[in-house]
Structure formats: structure tokens, C-alpha cells
Amino acid sequence: MFMKKPKLYWHIHHRSLLEPATEPIRNRIKFIREEKYASEVPIRLECLKPVKRPDLLPREVRLAAAKLGPNDWDASWCVFADTTRRHFKRIMARHRKEYPKCTCDPHGQLIFPGYGR
Ligand SMILES: [Zn+2]
């Protein structure tokens, strides 16, 4: 099932800061609970949060997110990924404002305990 209007979340995947949910987020939460290493689950679930104020993200990012759709997924995803890379600093600043307690690193990736990082 594809969401008509993808909703933006922080940390759907541990290496990504900002992503649209392509299916109901409860499916991803269930997957994390069932498939990920137990030691990673609390951090993954704690950091997976909805973007509270997508309207405060850079305009280009919002436009790229709005263009994501099932008909042209690969191309629109590339544009979205490229746009978020270019605006990373502003996106990260927004993230830190919304969830100051998030433990992700400066690259927006989750850090799991005991991984030697
Ligand atoms: Zn974070």
C-alpha cells in the first residue's frame, strides 16, 4: 500500500535523517520490533518520530517531498534524496529543534551502543 501523501519522518532507517513514509508507519515499527537486533530496537523506536513542522523545512525539500509518488517513484526519490543532501544543514537544525534529545550523530545517523563508534 502506498500512502497518497507521504508523511515525513525522522529516522525511519538508521542511516537516514529525513524520509517520507511509503506505508503506514506502524508497519515499520512492527518490522523493527520483529526483525532488528534487540539491542537496536529501543533507539530505533525512540528516534523514529514524525516531523512536527514540515512547513518549516526548506521549501525545495517540501516541494520534492510533495512530488514523491508511486507513478514516478525512482526519479522523484532521486530528486528528494539529492535535495535533502543539499539542504542537510538546515534540515539537521530543524531536527535538533524538534527533538533535542535525539542521539543521532552529526550526519543524521543513529548510533547503537557497542558498535565501536
Ligand atoms: Zn536524530
In a domain, 104, yes or no: no
The stretch 46-53 carries a mean pLDDT of 97
Please, what is the end-to-end C-alpha distance for the chain in angstroms? 36
Angular region, 116: left φ>0, alpha ψ -120 to 50, beta rest? left
In a domain, 107, yes or no: no
Domain that includes residue 86, residue range: 8-98
Parallel/antiparallel/unpaired status of strands 18-20 and 49-50: unpaired
In a domain, 115, yes or no: no
In a domain, 32, yes or no: yes
pTM: 0.90
**pLDDT value, residue 71:** 79
Q: 22 alpha carbon to ligand 1 midpoint, in Å?
A: 20
Helix axes 73-86, 88-98, angle to 10 degrees: 80
Q: 71 alpha carbon to ligand 1 midpoint, in Å?
A: 30
Q: Count the domains in the chain.
A: 1
> In Å, how far from its chain's centre is CA 68?
14
In a domain, 24, yes or no: yes
In a domain, 106, yes or no: no
Give 1's pLDDT tier (boundaries 50, 70, 90). Answer: very low
- The enclosing H or E element of 46 equals helix 41-47
Collapsing DSSP to helix, strand or coil, 68 comes out as coil
Q: 103 alpha carbon to ligand 1 midpoint, in Å?
A: 6
Give 2's pLDDT tier (boundaries 50, 70, 90). Answer: low
The string of pLDDT tens digits covering residues 15-29 is 999 999 988 999 999
In a domain, 23, yes or no: yes
In a domain, 116, yes or no: no
